[in-house]
Chain A
Amino acid sequence: MNFLKKLISKRRLWEALAVAFGALLGVMCVVNAATVPFNNEIHTFLGTADYKEIKIQAKDGEEEKIIDRAPIMTAEEIEEYYRQVNVDVEGEGLVLLKNDGDALPLDKGSNVSFAISGSANLLYATHGPGVRKQGTLYDLKDAITSQTDLVINEATYNFLKDGAGKSNRGIKNGVFRTDEVPWSTYTASGINEEYKKSGGTVIAVITRHSGEGADISWNGSDGVDGSYLTLTANEYSILEGLNQLKKAGDIDKIVVLINSALTLQCDFIDNELYGIDAAMWIGLPGASGMNAVAKALVGEISPSGKLSDTFLNDNFSSPAAKYWVLNDGFSSSYANTQELGLNGSQEFYGVYVENIYVGYRYYETRYEDYVMKSVGVGDYEYDEDVAYPFGYGLSYAEFEYSDFTVSELTDDGYYNVSVTVTNVEPTDGTGKSGKEVVQLYLQKPYSDYARKFNIEKSSVELVGFGKTKLLEPGESQTLTVGVSADSEYMKVAFEQLRSYDSENAQTYVLDDGRYYLTAAKDAHDAVNNILAAKGYSKVNGMDDDGNAELAKVILNQASVDKKIFSTSSVKEHDTPTTLKDTAKGTEITNQLDFMDPNRFTGVTDENSSNGDVTYVSRKNWLGTMPNRATNLALTNTVTEKYDITSHKTIIEEEGATMPTFGDMSADITLAMMDGLSYDDKQWDTLLDRISRDDMFVVLTNCYGYTPALASVAKPMTDEDDGPYGVSNTAEGFSSMSCEGIIASTFSVDIYRTVGEAIAADARSGHDEAQKNLHGLYAPGLNMHRVAFGGRAAEYFSEDPYLSGIAAVEEIKTMQAQHVVAHPKHFIFNDEESNRNGIGIWMNEQSAREIYLLPWEYALRADMGNAHALMTSFNRAGCLWTSANDNLMENILRGEWAFDGYTLTDMAGSNGKLFMVYDDGFMNGTDCFLDKGTTSGLTANMRNSNTFNQKLRTSMHRLLYVVANYSAAMDGYSNLTRLQSVVVWWKALIVTCITLFTIVTAASVTLYVLGEIDGNRKKKATPTENAEPIVTGGNE
């Protein structure tokens, strides 16, 4: 009793303990709450797991079948290999734009100085899903020092690296700025004297940033016209200052390197004011790519890259860019936003009014129409718009083409092409060796039928290419299929002749007229060849005589077969393995009317008299080029399926039954499914074992991984970002050249090597957490629609064919190492402005021929066969792309027979208003990049037979890919099981919460008892007459 009294008399102690432990209890409760969404991150950080792999005893006669998907390279081996690949890619991809008077290669041992701050402060990769950590990087000085015997003027380097010449470039108040210092700073610092001292060559590197989340500043920046992609007045002043030195004979040459994934406006390169002798596009070179640039400067590498985008004299000249400006950089709100109360994920839209005329498709078509004097073409000066056409690129060597032949259509549906390329450099020892890219361009007829039904035809489109080996002077190589990996696409598939007719036939058609095929050095050369074959010449306004010998009519279709690519006839022309949809009986027909403002009743353009938007058409260039903003308004005349709302009513499918969940009676695991087809009956037995809650939590928790699932012994898979290198690497050598440079190699061999290297790196344990990755969110497959797209570094090109082929070859080698490719972002995510829910509108022809084509290539089983994909933040029309069964089911799985799984972009981020589970699962989305819990599974979803069937189908797709393709299954066998374990940190949290609760409760109790006891004592000694007590002001 005395002890208790003594105990309760220590009220101060109990009060203090109650507060302290109460606070700790509060904190631990929050920590406990955090373990739910961040469970996998904590496990990764601490190296723990909720399960352990065990092997059970084999039954009598049962044999263990171990899955072998071991990595090809160890962590120790990868770096040297990867860096070399980076050098090879950059070396094959850099594009020589100008080389007046053979300014390059530089003389051995000659002097070089640097100008413009990018020379000492390069951009190697973009942030965001580019490579975040950068370890040993080779800058221009390192590369020149290690790879060449050129003599560097250190003072000029130091001036730019950390001295007065260093720019304070970056993003200021949301605007990209160079903040390059002017020439006067150079003269004030005496650097102009350094140039004089060294003489020789001055290399000026012009750098431009880009990245995720924002498009490039097209106004408000410090470029002379407000665009970030135009040179600034200070940059001009530096180039002008250098030219003055050159004119005075103080320096010999000015060489410009463009260090940007974006297409810098190139109107300055040929301007005599600046005296530029040579210019090279080096893109973003990655960690080690500058070594290749240095080698190219001295001629150890002869540039062989060809532009994967058109480089312009006026970045605002394309129809897409004109619309961009008119509609405030893709930030238009629907006219009735206020009236409809649209939220931030609903109010923005953009229209692809340019139709199919993206990049060179516009410039070259308008040029051809100008030469042919087509109606409505107007006065067109090609050279005012285009600095360097698509596919352009010089070499140190000169090449000639001959013996261009095209086969008849083969039984397997191809026109095989053959071209002989000869290096025509002098053979007396002074000639240069080099590689050449032969590009095949197709011209489809712009027929009366096409005009009548608004089918647009580009004057040329890339349909094939090949790259020679290194040709010595005088050496020839005939490029044709079978010669090398790099000649594999010297063929044209018959299906490439198709055009999409969304108005009349509502499927792909083979139009009547002549189909020309040409072998050319670039897109402009191709048009000139075809024009020459048609009998045009400089007299008609051509800027160059084409070579008619290099253009052939491969098909002269006399009558229109309007539905040649529909179900009924495709079998005649295609191999059984292509277009599996026909085997499924899926007819190709219009799927995207809901995103064409002119075919969808749910939207109208209030700036137009008839409510239609005007698409650019070669029928009348002048009349259809964008000259006014659109002002779309949503109407209430559509069904819920196509309106802008989220959480749409779940419609029960006829005959849908509630699937079985959690039936563990059959002993079957995921490893046993390896090699079984998707339709194998055993999948049902396996899926029956999984509870609904487990399914839901796994599928909504794919936040850079897919969680483990003990009931079927599914391991956790780890994925990471990385269109051009694994993002979260610890060592920092994983940054590859940007995708634009990869594409510009025009080399199948390089595409394959890139896929192999990135996958090997992913599997080697170089991830930040030293994880062995099993999947990559790569490659990026959106289009370079305008120069201002923020994520250009992550996407290949403005051309869908080139993007598609690069993706196909990269994916094949990536997946050969059991790294599941997740190309992204499906689809129409070609801009960053308002990407969270922006509605993209366009017609079906441009959707299919430009934006969907690379995806078709990447996903089709007979081509890239990617086993997964990532969807996008934006909408197609009113619908989130991932909640749209026309795209996600009918096209993806129906037409292309895609049998992998689909994953959203960051649904757990700012997409919670529209990237919602019910709409996603109901329309073909399988996994959410989110941190879902069972609380997200609403009663509506739980009770719907159809929803539960969809959930099960999504689980099936995910498990099918993991079982058959994922590296995560390496070492698993039919005897492997996952056993749940209590991890130490979870036990610690529970223990702490229990302990803190007990201590807090006990302390409060003892304190209260002490107070009661104190009151009783006080009662015994009354103090009524006491004076007011002064207690330091607090009681």
Chain B
Amino acid sequence: MNNKKPFYLQVNFYLAAAAFVFAFVSFILYAVNCPSEFNGENVSSAVVTGDVLALICLAIGLGGMVAEYFFGDGLIAKIIKYARLAIYVAFICLIISFFMQILDEYSLLGTILYPIFSGTVGDPVNPVLSASYFISLIFTLIALILAIVSALLKKSGAYRAEVLRGEEC
């Protein structure tokens, strides 16, 4: 235990946790429901890689926040100070995942959007596939926003703490 504010009282912890949940659900929805005739029943390796890396980095970030509370200012604390960087990396991975989900699935997206813009019925797309794809896309977007907000809050908190610490000294 140390003199820092407990992680469970920090907003950024919950934001990062929420980002993790959204990213996880997005990943599962994409990986399980989105292999289809539009991608030869394969999912995009870029999206999967981006999601997995993002989840690992978010886990590191969350783990760091928890560990920070328990391990005080020792060597481990010095290392886990960089956990914020992990969330940044997660954010970048999620950006790549989001855009690659559009790029690599342009056939599916085009088939869904075509009737809307052309005014005709268009080829039917399995509703589970369609819903999974859009939820996955939206959840990835939410996750990346939450991740960056969490990291920025943590960043501003850290610098503010440093300033306060400096004033006390």
What residues of chain A have their CB less than 8 Å away from a CB belonging to chain B?
A: 12, 15, 18-19, 22-23, 25-27, 29-30, 33-34, 37, 126-128, 132, 170-171, 174, 176, 209, 211-214, 343-345, 790, 835-837, 908-913, 916, 1004, 1008, 1011, 1014-1015, 1021, 1023, 1026-1035
User: Do the beta carbons of A1033 and B99 come within 8 Å of each other?
Assistant: no
Establish whether residues B122 and A1023, one from each chain, have CB atoms under 8 Å apart when the complex forms: no
Cβ-closest 6 pairs across A and B: A1034-B157, A211-B120, A1035-B157, A214-B121, A912-B40, A30-B99
Chain A residues with CB under 8 Å of B118's CB are 127-128, 132, 211-212
Interface size class for chain B? 35 or more
- Taking the closest CB of chain B, its distance from the CB of A218, in whole angstroms, is 13
Q: Which residues of A contact B108 (CB under 8 A)?
A: 910
B27 within 8 A of A: no
Question: A214-B120, A910-B111, A912-B40 given as contacts; is B92 within 8 A of A1029 (CB)?
Answer: no
Judge whether B12 is part of the interface by a CB distance below 8 angstroms.
yes
Is A34 within 8 A of B103, CB to CB? yes
Q: Determine the chain A residues whose CB is within 8 A of the CB of B121 once the complex forms.
A: 171, 174, 176, 211, 213-214, 790
Closest chain-B Cβ to A344's Cβ sits at a distance in Å of 6
Residues of chain A within 8 A (CB-CB) of B59 are: none
Query: Cβ of B161: which chain A residues have Cβ within 8 Å of it?
Result: 1029, 1031, 1035
CA A912 to CA B44, docked complex, whole Å? 14
Contact B120 A1035 (CB under 8 A): no
Structural contact, B37 and A913, CB atoms closer than 8 A:
yes
* Number of residue pairs spanning A and B whose beta carbons lie under 8 angstroms apart: 157
Chain B interface SS verdict (over half)? helix
A913 contacts B40, C-beta separation under 8 Å: yes
New A-B pairs, 20, CB < 8 Å, besides A1011-B81, A1031-B160: A12-B155, A15-B155, A19-B91, A22-B89, A26-B92, A30-B99, A37-B103, A127-B120, A171-B119, A211-B120, A211-B121, A212-B120, A345-B37, A909-B110, A1015-B78, A1030-B5, A1031-B164, A1034-B11, A1035-B4, A1035-B154
Closest CB in chain A relative to B149 CB, distance in Å:
11
Q: Which residues of A contact B164 (CB under 8 A)?
A: 1029, 1031
Chain A residue at smallest Cβ distance from B13: A1034
Q: Are B107 and A910 in contact (CB under 8 A)?
A: yes
- Answer yes or no: B151 CB below 8 A from chain A CBs: yes
* Given A30-B100, A909-B110: A1033 and B122 interface contact (C-beta under 8 Å): no
From residue A780, how far is it (CB to closest CB) to chain B in Å?
Answer: 15
Q: Are A910 and B5 in contact (CB under 8 A)?
A: no
User: Given A127-B119, A1034-B12, does the pair A1026, B168 have CB atoms closer than 8 Å?
Assistant: yes
Give chain B nearest CB distance to A586 CB in angstroms.
35
B99 lies within 8 A of A1032 (CB): no
Tell which of B38, B81, B93 has the most Cβ of chain A within 10 Å. B38
Residues of B within 8 A of A345 (CB): 37
Residue of A nearest to B93 (CB): A26
Minimum C-beta distance from A1035 to chain B (A): 3
Quick one: which of B88, B111, B157, B162 contacts A909, CB cutoff 8 A? Answer: B111
A1029:B4 contact, CB within 8 angstroms: yes
24 pairs, A vs B, C-beta closer than 8 Å = A18-B88, A23-B92, A27-B99, A30-B96, A33-B103, A127-B120, A171-B115, A171-B120, A211-B119, A212-B118, A213-B115, A214-B121, A214-B123, A214-B124, A912-B40, A1023-B169, A1029-B165, A1031-B5, A1031-B157, A1031-B164, A1032-B157, A1034-B153, A1034-B154, A1034-B156
Residues of B within 8 A of A1033 (CB): 5, 9-11, 157
Bound complex: CA A785 to CA B126 (Å): 27
- Contact residue among A19, A33, A1021 (Cβ-Cβ distance under 8 Å from B151): A19
Question: B residues within 8 A CB of A835?
Answer: 123
Residues of B within 8 A of A12 (CB): 155, 159
> Shortest distance in angstroms between A41's beta carbon and chain B's nearest beta carbon?
11
B95 at the binding interface (Cβ < 8 Å):
yes
Shortest beta-carbon distance from B22 to chain A in Å: 18
CA distance A1008 to B118 in the complex (A): 53
Q: Whose C-beta in chain A lies nearest to the C-beta of B89?
A: A22
Q: Which residue of A lies closest to B100 (CB)?
A: A30
Instruction: Give B153 Cβ to nearest chain A Cβ, in Å.
Output: 5
Complex Cα–Cα for A1014 and B81 (A)? 12
What is the bound-complex CA distance between A128 and B110, given in angstroms? 13
